[in-house]
Amino acid sequence: MALTFGVSYGQQYFSRTGTVSFFASTPLEDIKADNNQVYVVIDVEKKQLAFSSLLKGFIFPKELMQEHFNENYVESDKYPKATFMGTFSGDVNIHKEGSYVIQVKGQLALHNVAKTVEVPATLEVKGGALVAVAQFMVKPEDFQITIPSVVRNKIAKEVTIKVNANCIAK
């Protein structure tokens, strides 16, 4: 049964262990965090993809920073998730191993604000899996994340987001 559906919907790829990292370091403070529990689905046929992550899953080297991130910046008790859903352009042949450059466009939702982002990414077909890699920048202010003036110089104006997800067909 699974096989039958697998054929008709065989171009959906999933991961529950995708990684999203962000970097907001300045010379004054080293700020970075990783989330290794990001849910990812990529539909190669429909050229759609979605990401979903719990903000509490972001692990910081400094515990206090992690607490401040959750309590004061993204307010994860109120808005627990960061999500992305969108479409991509560019051809991907899942039957042929190799790296495919795509252009992703969609809505990044965080802190109760959804913003359209458009980023280049690569999809790599490798051993039956689909590895999605992307890197882009966002501004905290675009998501109504306010940074008090006393710490403004310690946090980068633009935050670099790196995505890496190894998705397998279901």
Partner 1 sequence: MSISLMAWGLRLSAQENLLKLLNDSADASPTFRHVTGTFKAERIVNLQTVEAPAGGDLNFVIQHRFGQLNSGGYNFFGLDNATLRLGLDYGISDRLTVGVGRSTVDKTFDGYLKYRLLTQTDGSGHLPVTVTGFGSVSYYTQRYPDKSYLDATYRTAYVGQLLIARKFSRIFSAELAPTWLHYNLVPTTDDRNDEFAVSAGGRLKITRRMSINLEYNYLLPNQVQSEKVRNSFSVGWDIETGGHVFQLVVTNSQGLIESQYIGRTNGNWGDGGIYFGFNISRNFTVGKRTQHKASNNK
Return residues touching partner 1 (CB under 8 A).
2, 5-6, 9, 12, 14, 16, 36-37, 39-41, 43, 48-52, 54, 56-59, 61-64, 66-68, 70-72, 75, 77-78, 81, 83, 85-87, 106, 148, 150-151, 154, 170
Q: How far from each other are the two terminal CA atoms of the chain, in whole angstroms?
A: 12
Kindly tell me which of 60 and 136 has the beta carbon lying closer to partner 1.
Answer: 60
Question: Which residue lies nearer to partner 1 by CB, 50 or 131?
Answer: 50
Give the nearer residue to partner 1 in terms of CB position, either 70 or 122.
70
Least distance (Å) between residue 136 CB and partner 1:
19
Q: Nearest approach, Cβ of 98 to partner 1 (angstroms)?
A: 25
Q: How far is the CB of 7 from partner 1 (least distance, A)?
A: 12
Query: Cβ closer to partner 1: 27 or 150?
Result: 150
